[in-house]
Chain A
Amino acid sequence: MELILTEDQELIAKTAVDFVGERSPIARMRALRDDGDPAGFSRELWKEMADLGWVGIPFAEVHGGADLGLAELTVVIEALGRGLAPEPFLSTVLLAGQLLQRSGDDAACARWLPGVCAGDTILALAYQGVTSRYDAFSPSVVATASGDGFRLAGQAIQVLDGHVADALIVSARTSGEQGEASGLSLFVVPKDASGLEIVRQSRVDGRNAALVQLDDVAVSAADALAGVDGGGPLLQQTIDRATIGLCAEMLGGMQQAFELTLEHMKTREQFDTVIGTFQALKHRAADLFIEIELAKSVVMAAARAADEAGADPGELARHVSVAKAHCSEAYVHITNEAVQMFGGVGMTDEYDIGFYMKRARAAELTFGDAAFHRDRWAALGGY
């Protein structure tokens, strides 16, 4: 693998950065929050992103996609991360969309992916319960056999973009024990299914999420992607790939937060000089810069590893863990330092830097924090 952008990727990156600068500065996210927007994102902008070809990047051409990889998708998401754009890339493209695409279920793909690629359909993945923490194999939804299908009961938390989704993919235990990969099934459930209740949740980062209650929701065995009991490995691999996308968003956010901080250091005066002249701050800024340079490398490497045909799953998992552990600590550290260097105004809602600190935390605690990934790295290494 080569850790360098191709000309095409450079072009996508430039288009995306320009787009974010003009159309999606952080002020837009602030306005969505302040207005209490019921969707929490812009459908018009999402449609534009679809028209630019971004939403369909990882999907097959037959469904309207571009059949490209994470190497391309990550440069777009990195740019959007600079403006904290709340559009549903994570839920619809990286999680539910990729899960459909990778399931090989042609009928389900044909039903949902063309709408996704066109920017019309929103999808969400419901896989976590209150006690799941970061274990993808411990859902709080149980599937009980009923006739030739199943009935789903239980709860899923923080379902990203669940409140606007046209369909949910629900992870449920059909057999086996919690924590095991086998016995997990992934059912596609349309939003109007009987017994499904979706309530929007409010999070610290303002990102869209929903609490999903399932009360005897009827599904058929044919609705199970990768077959009944066979969803575990597919779910884990999809979360790993989505984690790479999330890391790209974090990389964009940490760069923007750092640039805002540098600007502040060059303009804010105290003791009759700009605070950027103080060596105590300079050295910390240099450290943050190093963290960003390392983050660029690990995200790029993980995306390329995921795109390699026949990638060794263990090696890909290592790449993902390195990227998520590093980006989690870097984004949190950079935004903590940013608020500290902004001083009192950094604590005000009026300044944007607080949004990045909140988003850094939310991203850190999604798909496993640094401690979780170190533990996983050690386990993958056999110690």
Chain B
Amino acid sequence: MSDLQAFQAETRAWLKENCPASLLGAGGGGLVGTWGGRKWQPENEDQRVWLERAAEKGFTAPTWPTDVGGGGLSKAEAKILAQEMRALGVPPPLIGFGLTMIGPTLLQYGSEEQKQEHLPKIVRGEIRWCQGYSEPGAGSDLAGLQMRAEDKGDHYIVNGTKVWTSYADEADWIFALVRTDPKAKKQEGITFLLIDMETPGVSVSPILLISGSSPFCETHFQDVKALKSNVIFKEHAGWTVAKALLGHERSMVAEAFGGGSRRSLADRARAYLPGATADGPLPDGGLRRDIASFEMEARAFGLTMQRSRDAAKAGQQPGAESSIFKIVGTELNQRRQELLLHIAGPQALGWEGEGFADGELATTRDWLRSRGNTIEGGTSEVQRNIIAKRVLGLPD
């Protein structure tokens, strides 16, 4: 038996032994699951047990080093773990921006003390993180941010407002971009700073979206004291860290919207189209071709992500793929949401209440939510500018 086969057998046995039976098949992933944090209230005891056991094993952050509480697994082993979890229907024990965004960034740019301070708490789901990047006056032009951090020796005094801070009302800590040198060129006066959300002067107000939900907040900072020991990398060098983190975020957004196994669009269409038979051609030829067109482009996108992964595995330098993936992944998801509207027809118009199935109501809200995909994490227009400049070498 090879090492990987042994690992697979061991992992399967461990998962069967340790994941509470009530959670099997619960799904999760993307933005659904256990976020953890100080304010977290488990829906049931099993959820808490599963988080604790997985964290103890290092399986909440399988590829992170063991000295910060990670699993220390190789990529091949992590892939097996993911496969086994899917096969058994084991839900992810923990999700969130700690694992996908600030964690990888700390591993790359954090000091040893910072890693030891923050990463184990992420692994155990004790601290939930949010992102403080955009401001009311700094969206696509992120480097134009104004939130001021004034030097007071061993600490800063922070004043300003962050917007689109996802789930800030649930978060314990924020990783934020602050302006430490207002005189420098705009990219050069920015510092990447970690701030405890319980610090006096921090306040949060949720933003109601067109979809009716409020996943984003506005976060205000009034004379907030932040220690300099919480600067990541170097003072005034925050733009470098921010770009690295945006790379993680774009891959995450693209992966989340890129594919996944779902009930086929054609099967959904059969349920709504008059005259549809169980296995014949869909009676609406235009819709049929739109579905085919979407599925084929989604496959082309999936193959491109695979090509990029295969190149990385072979040790080749990554190209500008992460920018391409953001544009294509998000636009494909918007197309998918629009197709779902067209498939459901008037039944896609429900907001709440009688006469609409849960899935139909979700279709309406998901469509509205998807319009933000091409804005958040760097708009599609900014992504196109990046490709034109960095990849194609077109002049400013």
Contact = CB atoms under 8 A, between A and B. Distances in A.
Interface of A: 2-4, 262, 265-266, 274, 276-277, 279, 282-283, 285-287, 289-290, 293-294, 296-298, 300-301, 318, 321-322, 325-326, 370-371, 373-375, 377-379, 381-383
Contact of A378 (B292, B310, B393): B292
Interface in B161-192: none
B297 to A, nearest CB: 7
B385 interface: yes
A370 B292 CA distance: 11
A290 B388 contact: no
Given A265-B394, A266-B395, A289-B391, A325 B385 contact: no
Given A276-B395, A277-B395, A381-B264, A301 B324 contact: no
Chain B interface residue bracket vs A: 35 or more
B296 A325 contact: yes
B306 interface: yes
Interface of B: 264, 266, 269-270, 279, 281-282, 288-289, 291-293, 295-297, 299-301, 303-304, 306-307, 310-311, 314, 316, 321, 324, 327-328, 381, 383-385, 387-388, 391-396
B307 A374 contact: no
Main secondary structure of the interface of A (DSSP, over half): helix
Given A274-B395, A382-B266, 8 more contacts: A4-B311, A283-B388, A286-B384, A290-B327, A294-B328, A297-B307, A298-B300, A325-B296
Given A279-B385, A293-B324, A266 B300 contact: no
Contacts of B297: 294, 326
B239 to A, nearest CB: 22
Contacts of B387: 286, 289-290
Contact of A381 (B295, B304, B307, B328): B295
A3 B396 contact: no
A282 B394 contact: yes
A322 B296 contact: yes
Given A293-B324, A326-B300, A2 B289 contact: no
B261 to A, nearest CB: 14
A322 B388 CA distance: 27
Contacts of A4: 307, 310-311, 314, 316
Given A265-B394, A285-B392, A294 B292 contact: no
- Among A274, A283, A287, the most chain B Cβ lie within 10 Å of the Cβ of A283
A377 B296 contact: yes
A300 B300 CA distance: 11
A286 B320 CA distance: 11
A370 B395 CA distance: 34
A378 B307 contact: no
A283 B321 CA distance: 16
Contacts of B394: 262, 265-266, 276-277, 282, 285
Contacts of A297: 300, 303-304, 306-307
26 contacts: A3-B307, A4-B307, A4-B314, A262-B394, A276-B394, A283-B388, A285-B388, A286-B383, A287-B384, A289-B324, A290-B328, A293-B304, A294-B304, A294-B328, A297-B303, A297-B306, A321-B296, A322-B296, A377-B296, A378-B282, A378-B289, A381-B264, A381-B266, A381-B292, A381-B295, A383-B270
A63 B314 CA distance: 35
Contacts of B384: 282-283, 286-287
B307 A296 contact: yes
A374 B328 contact: no
B318 to A, nearest CB: 13
Nearest to A370: B293
Contacts of A373: 296
A3 B303 contact: yes
Contacts of A279: 385
Nearest 6 A/B pairs, CB to CB: A383-B266, A282-B388, A3-B307, A286-B384, A297-B303, A286-B387
A383 B296 contact: no
Given A293-B304, A377-B292, A382-B266, A322 B299 contact: yes
